[in-house]
Chain A
Amino acid sequence: MIKLIGVRKIFPGRNGKEDVEALHDINLAINENEFLTIIGPSGCGKTTLLRAIAGLVPIDAGEVLIDGTPVRGPGPERAMVFQNIALLPWDTVLANVAFGLELRGVPKDEREERAHKFIRLVGLEGWEQRMPGELSGGMQQRVGLARALAVEPKVLLMDEPFGSLDEQTRRLLQEELVRIWEATRTTVVFITHSMEEAVLLGDRIVVMSVRPGSVVEIVPVPLPRPRGGRIDTVGWSTEFLAITAHLWTRLRDMQPDLVRSKEALAGVSS
């Protein structure tokens, strides 16, 4: 179980500019085996929040606890999947998936065997000896996912992992992720800017405010599981559409200065 208590993060202003408060008093409890999605407006600090849980950025106040232990840096029980994928371009798919295990000193034979297992799981069998540059974006992110799963983490942290993919690839990977997650039930914290994605994947959705980011609402997703394999049917159900619409209302209302009034637009057209 992950607990965030009064988490605050301030980025000091450079060259005399004012400090920027990225996270303001975040309180959140993430249950074991839960798929939690986090959504918020652009620049609301959701990635910073994930990096704080990952131990990649120090926080200025509060506490991030994992099973009661405060986070002081990255740890073996957490693994991350990155938006820009961050594969090692000089290594094969196999070596990339085995990378986390290699750092932990797992002997070559054993780590390659385990890597093979996760390469199969993400559907990349036969691609082990290819280089990342030879793979499409979607396949690269499958490697990124396999690399994180290979260290068998208790918590999987995913930072807009499908954000840079085209819509069709994204849908296929969402299905894949749901299928894998419903088989493994690892705790997942998943950042996204897509409302559909937040609803399709999550058990609960955390809605964050504009900067400084704080939690404004936690939306439960009562859609039935397993969702894997029939994600499209889920995607067209009335409950799905209702939650998505609710999220959009919240997010839109948070950014009134970006929503132009009819009067303003009338002034332009006349």
Chain B
Amino acid sequence: MTVAAKQVRAGGFARARGLALGIGPSVSALILLAVVWELVGRVVGAAFLPPLSAVVGRLVELVAEGTILLNLATSLTNLVLGFGISLAIGLGLGMLMGGYRRVEAALDIYVNAFLTAPSLVFAPIFFTLFGLGRGSVIALIVMYSTFIMIITTASAIRSVSPSLSEMGRSFCATDLQLFRKVILPAATPLIMAGVRLGAGRAVKGMINGEMFIAVVGLGKLMIDEGRQFDAEGVLAILIVIVLVAFGAAKAVQIVDARLTSWMPSTVRAE
């Protein structure tokens, strides 16, 4: 009975077939990709494209050696610290810019400039400031992910329907009550859209930072493997990085779904 219900909801023909096999469409696509990779890798036999099985074998090796886990831990620590700082600055400054015209007028142009400028050009500056380590990577993550969150948070606050604020004021809400009980919840869906973008950019910043400046983390490991022309190793680390990105996106999505469950599902991005 549940299966029938699910099929009706899924609608499309292809999806219904995927469900008949007991798997979702995204998993089917992944399996297809893996099979194609394995076949092409074996047939072509190029040094830069080893078959998937060899890459997975190398991945297991790296995990067993402990190199991956150690570097993964370093990278994740950088990511959490950097993204945490970004969240605090992005949401804080964004709310101020959204709430106060003057703050917006003062900062808008600079925030937009920093959003547009390639964040990696700041790497040398961070390098001289924070040295060859964690500090520079974290600074770069902040640089990558903060500005998009400032801009989306500010516009989320500004686009809250004036009739809702007016309703709050008519019931004698203080400024703080109005912000906490009306404006912030109303702005949350758009703010969370910005946080999703910010999380994606934070992962980018982490890898770029580790590859270009610091001698730590997954990015550094990838560079090392690349220098040894170890294509299997490079691709193995690439898989881990994609998993980290996927995990970060999923984590934000879960928080988003909890905060905005009141939105009709047709409006909410899945």
Contacts and interface: CB of A to CB of B under 8 A. Distances in A.
Interface of A: 54, 56, 74-76, 78-80, 82, 84, 86, 88-91, 99-100, 102-104, 131, 133, 151
Contact of A56 (B166, B260, B262, B264): B166
A151 B171 contact: yes
A151 to B, nearest CB: 7
B17 interface: no
Interface in B219-270: 260, 262-264
Nearest to B169: A74
A82 B170 CA distance: 10
A211 B26 CA distance: 60
A84 B170 contact: no
Nearest to B189: A90
A89 B267 CA distance: 13
A38 B264 CA distance: 37
B173 interface: yes
A90 B262 contact: yes
Given A88-B186, A133-B264, 12 more contacts: A54-B170, A56-B170, A79-B171, A80-B170, A82-B166, A82-B167, A89-B262, A90-B188, A99-B171, A100-B172, A103-B171, A151-B171
Nearest to A102: B181
A90 B172 contact: no
B129 interface: no
Nearest to A99: B171
A146 to B, nearest CB: 13
Contact of A103 (B161, B173, B185): B173
Contacts of B168: 103
B182 interface: yes
Contacts of A78: 170
B261 to A, nearest CB: 9
B170 A74 contact: yes
B33 interface: no
Contacts of A91: 262
A86 B164 contact: yes
A155 B264 CA distance: 35
Interface string B133-173: 00000000000000000000000000001011011111111
